[in-house]
Structure 1
Amino acid sequence: MAPVRNAGHIGIAEFIGIWQQGKNFNDYPHLAQAAKALLDDIVWWAQALKTPRENI
């Protein structure tokens, strides 16, 4: 486990919009930005911890 700085929070307005109002992920660009930042953090940690994982 490693800490990540960013998170992707889906608020109730976005949830209801996608679930009941026929909107999609592209209607909420801030979610895409948050998801990209979170995934960038995960990729960074995966690369940083690659050598230690290989030595187990």
Structure 2
Amino acid sequence: MAFMKRRSSEPGDGGRPEPLGGGGALDGRWSDMQHALARCRRSLRLSRRRARRGPPGRRR
């Protein structure tokens, strides 16, 4: 989380997925990373909620 905060607080970046200088490959890679992070966060939240609700020791 600290890494994302540092990225967003960088001057001239603003934390937006669009790259500096307009590199297409870098833009694609950055958006892919953002999507992966969002998916990971969502799955983590869902698994946490499910673990709390369901019986313990089902998965892991």
* TM-score normalised by length of structure 1: 0.48
* TM-score normalised by length of structure 2: 0.45
Higher helix share: 1
